[in-house]
Amino acid sequence: MKRIVLFFVVALVSISVSAQPKKTIIEVQVSPEHADWQYRCGQDAKFNVTVLKAGVPLENARIYYEISEDMQDPMKKEDLTLKNGTAKIKLGTMEKPGFLRLRVWATHEDIRYYGVATAGFDIDKIEPTAVMPDDFDDFWAKVLEENNKLEMLPMMELVPEKCTQKVNVYLASFQNRRKGCRMYGTLCVPADLKPGEKRPAILIVPGAGVRARNGYYSEAEKGFITLELGINHISTVLDNEIYEQLKPWYGREYPLCNIDDKDKYIYKGIYAGCARAVDYLAGLDFVDADRIGVMGGSQGGALSITTAVLNPKVKCLAVFYPALSDLTGYLNGRGGGWPHLFRNGKMATKERIETTAYYDVVNFARKVSVPVFYTYGFNDMTCCPTSTTAVYNVLPDVEKYLWIVPEIEHWTYPEQNAARSKWVMEHLSR
């Protein structure tokens, strides 16, 4: 299918988005000379740096900058005073495909301000470092077979305080991994659903962390069943105070749980549970089992890909900057995906490298067989572009919609969110 590539470079918009940075009095603007932020290997990249106050270049602005390859140690550091508030900085080039990043800090009245821009070099040629295990398919077939032996015991409980005139909201749950262990999600059902009617459904898989999953009302108001899944085996409709109390138990260390054993690694149950969530949706008498899509960002981006591969009922997927991608990049002199397991060489044991091969999203991406919406940015240092580009580049020849928004870090614009939902709903309406 035809690959659609869009490059979208815009200023920060005033509409608030979760995790999107807020404007400050001093603005550090950093941008490459190429409008698409892309170069060929051997081409020199030059960046414009401007320090603004009230929209006007700040005279004698003091900056410190670093140049580095994606997620690597700086190769150049320098302090500068910008007489007219502007400067042109030459990054150099790369001899192999990858990314060069310029990070700039400006100091004004003892407060530091930050700007960043990243140039991509021959990014369509970035290949993953992750190796596909010979028994990858057999491993996951066995995992799913074992999980499917466990009764699902599906449940849905109306949550009246979350319902609106247009959407009925339920706490959904099903048994997963072992007896008595349940996964939960927030299920939104259009209030105008007629008896016997079946609607398309969207599974929203979660980013990292423990928090409420408030449900996707907008899509439900347009006629779609939505299930926003949680992976922490706790209700998704509790008071926020409870999640705050639970955060120490679901901290940043959970991706390391049982990482020395591929048969016990924490993501085994998570991947299988997300695949089972599709079966849960398909089993609802008001869901059209032939029209189920999945979408997510970061950890959810990873889970959207793994779910689409592990459950053939998924008909399309939408991905934002997937985590758990090309994890071994750091072992090959370049950036690797969240949670950056091997950035510290001490973590890189034979057992851990072997385990991650079965869970690396790159190896799932090679097996995607449905249409894909894919978007990410070059400035992301959580799910770095080297890793997310490697995932995109191994996607098979399926229908693909690629939207690179170079300036974003680990956040999205409202336009991206709207485009994602529109794309998924259109594909499920066919």
- Taking the C-alpha atoms of 324, 330, 331 and 334 in order, what is their torsion angle to the nearest 10 degrees? 120
Query: Is 209 in contact with 232 (CB distance < 8 Å)?
Result: no
- Rounded Cα gap, residues 38 and 100, in angstroms: 10
pLDDT at 2 over 70: no
Q: Find the mean pLDDT for residues 36-47.
A: 97
pLDDT at 193 over 60: yes
Q: Find the mean pLDDT for residues 247-254.
A: 73
Question: pLDDT digits over 80-102, tens only?
Answer: 999 999 999 999 999 999 999 99
pLDDT computed for residue 7 by the predictor:
33
Q: Which residues of the chain are in CATH 3.40.50.1820 domains?
A: 136-428
**Torsions phi, psi of 301, nearest 5?**
-65, -45
pLDDT computed for residue 344 by the predictor:
84
pLDDT at 353 over 80: yes
Lowest mean pLDDT among 61-70, 167-176, 230-239: 230-239
Given pLDDT bands bounded at 50, 70 and 90, which one contains residue 252? low
Q: What is the pTM of this model?
A: 0.93
**pLDDT averaged over every residue in the chain:** 93
Q: Find the mean pLDDT for residues 117-123.
A: 98
Nearest to 281 by CA among 227, 345, 220: 227
**Torsions phi, psi of 140, nearest 5?**
-75, -30
Q: Which one-letter amino acid corresponds to residue 341? A: L
Q: Residue 88 belongs to what H/E stretch?
A: strand 86-92
Q: Which residues of the chain are in CATH 2.60.40.10 domains?
A: 19-125
Lowest mean pLDDT among 86-90, 212-216, 315-319: 212-216
pLDDT computed for residue 389 by the predictor:
98
Given pLDDT bands bounded at 50, 70 and 90, which one contains residue 244? confident
Lowest mean pLDDT among 47-51, 74-78, 107-111, 239-243: 239-243
- Rounded Cα gap, residues 403 and 380, in angstroms: 15
- Rounded Cα gap, residues 340 and 271, in angstroms: 19
Tokens of 359: 């869970």
- Taking the C-alpha atoms of 242, 244, 248 and 251 in order, what is their torsion angle to the nearest 10 degrees? 110
pLDDT computed for residue 414 by the predictor:
95
* Check whether domain 136-428 has CATH 3.40.50.1820, yes or no: yes
Residue appearing with tokens 């081409």: 43
The catalytic site residues sit at: 298, 380, 410
Given pLDDT bands bounded at 50, 70 and 90, which one contains residue 18? very low
pLDDT at 11 over 50: no
Nearest to 169 by CA among 200, 214, 199, 205: 214
Given pLDDT bands bounded at 50, 70 and 90, which one contains residue 125? very high
pLDDT greater at residue 146 or residue 344: 146
Please tell me the CATH superfamily of domain 19-125, with its number: Immunoglobulins (2.60.40.10)
- Rounded Cα gap, residues 230 and 280, in angstroms: 14
